[in-house]
Structure 1
Amino acid sequence: MHRRRRTALLLTAAIAAAAPLLTACGNDGHAGAAAVVGDQRITVSELESRVNEVRTAQRAAVPEDAQYARVVAGTGGIARDTLHGMVLDRVLHRAAEDAGVTVSRKDVQQLRDELERRTGGAEALETTWLQQYGVPPRRLDDNLRLQVEAQKLASALGTQTNQPAFWAALSKASEELDVDMNPRYGSWDAEKVGRVDAKTPWVREVTAGGQQGTA
């Protein structure tokens, strides 16, 4: 994945379509998991909840049925990007911890105040982040915290977020966390610090009718 693309994914939260219900094949540690990052599991239900948050916010912002349908159609294939973002958030936090970087509530508020001035107020900022980055209002501060964390990590490393030294730190953190992604969504490449497609699933989709098949 291109460095610029990865930076964009780092500093934004992608929107996603509702994922199918999944069950694990053979590994109890993966049961119901979309990914395992270190000792933390990102469950399928968590991923679906994130999707629902965005969809609810989008629906509130776009009440007209046809327009909303176009929004959904335009973002119907990026559940993997949502999970990518959730994993990358944890990788970034680990890299920041390794570098001794911390983020205070004041840091986040300062960034929010600055962005509100640029966009024309709190509501305008929330609308911009939802439309451009798929971040629902309730997740805005969390997203801004990640942006601050990324910038402070880059500063601590004496580099910028689009430079190799920054991504090398994230690659190291990825290796430390030993990210294991459900192949329904792809796999995690620690060197590239990103999701890649995978062909060997360890999950089965469960259809509404109760039939099971290989994902």
Structure 2
Amino acid sequence: MKSTRVRVILAAVAVGATLTACSPAQVGAAAVVGDQRISSSELEADVKEYEAAVVASGINKSQLQLRGSVPQAVLTNVIAIEQLDQLGARKGVTVTEAEVDAFLNQIATQGGQTQRMPDEQIAVNVGVPPSKLRDLVRITLVERKLLAGLGAGEDEASQQVASQKLAQEAATIKVVRSPRYGVANPQSQGGADSYVDAGRFGAVPASS
């Protein structure tokens, strides 16, 4: 079954993420976002759920266009959800369930498809477990509202300026990502080589 690539663009995904030695609060954590800890066991459960959805969807793993390995891509999206959730709450930006439904319907019927794409397949395509798809859509809409509030219009110039401002604001919510999940590759264009081995911190987890 051929996978339809669905892109949910996040301008401020994991902005300011750093790789540091773990403090006591960070031991066993895949990442710490602000004051919220994402444990390695939670990430492992998310990865298992995602991989089960891949199998159920019938999509070949070679067709997935993820940022890094499955654990790396899922962690990146979970970090983005937490970071933009916190920033949206700080700025008083809210998104209704109806807005989430409308955006999901827009994604599910893109490209003139006559049959609605299942939410599980959308989740597989964007790199989140199905249980976190609505969260990812919600923070994508939060991001859009934040960008609009920072002056983003229809023109590319205003969007770039707003994106830079948003990145600066998002960076105030500190992200510490475990080096076990790789170091961001500055030369990557956002594909499978998005992260490189962190060396002495251990091998990057691979999808099973």
TM-score (norm 2): 0.64
Q: Which residue of 1 aligns with 2:93?
A: 101
Instruction: Report Cα offsets for 1:130-152 as digits up to 9, x if no partner.
Output: 45323444333222212211211
CA distance in 1, matches of 2:24, 2:105: 45
Check whether the contact 1:32–1:44 (CA below 8 A) recurs between aligned residues.
Answer: yes
Structure 2: which amino acid aligns with 1:157?
L
Structure 2: which amino acid aligns with 1:146?
I
Q: Give SS of 1:139's match.
A: helix
Of structures 1 and 2, the one scoring higher in RCO (CA 8 A, sep 6+) is 2
Q: Give SS of 1:34's match.
A: strand
**Residue 166 (structure 2) pairs with residue 169 (structure 1):** yes
Q: Which residue of 1 aligns with 2:44?
A: 48
Q: Which structure's CA Rg is the greater one? A: 1
**Residue 137 (structure 2) pairs with residue 140 (structure 1):** no
Distance 1:127 1:32, change over 3 A: closer
Alignment of 1:131-210 (within 5 A): 131-159=124-152, 163-174=160-171, 176-186=172-182, 199=198
**Residue 33 (structure 2) pairs with residue 37 (structure 1):** yes
Alignment of 1:37-76 (within 5 A): 37-62=33-58, 68=60, 70=62
Instruction: Report Cα offsets for 1:47-80 as digits up to 9, x if no partner.
Output: 1111111110111122xxxx757569x9873422
CA distance in 1, matches of 2:94, 2:78: 19
Q: Which runs of 5+ in 1 are unaligned?
A: 1-6, 14-24, 189-193, 206-215
Q: Which residue of 1 aligns with 2:16?
A: none
The equivalent position to 2:82 in structure 1, one of 87, 90, 104, is 90
Distance 1:200 1:164, change over 3 A: farther
CA distance in 1, matches of 2:60, 2:108: 26
Distance 1:107 1:31, change over 3 A: same
The CA RMSD measured in Å over matched residues stands at: 3.8
Check whether the contact 1:10–1:85 (CA below 8 A) recurs between aligned residues.
Answer: no
CA distance in 1, matches of 2:46, 2:195: 21
The equivalent position to 2:105 in structure 1, one of 91, 108, 113, is 113
Instruction: Report Cα offsets for 1:64-97 as digits up to 9, x if no partner.
Output: xxx757569x987342232222222222223323
Q: Which runs of 5+ in 2 are unaligned?
A: 1-6, 14-20, 185-189, 204-208
Q: Which residue of 1 aligns with 2:73?
A: 81
Q: Give SS of 1:143's match.
A: helix
Q: State which drifts further: 124-133 or 84-93.
A: 124-133
Distance 1:99 1:166, change over 3 A: farther
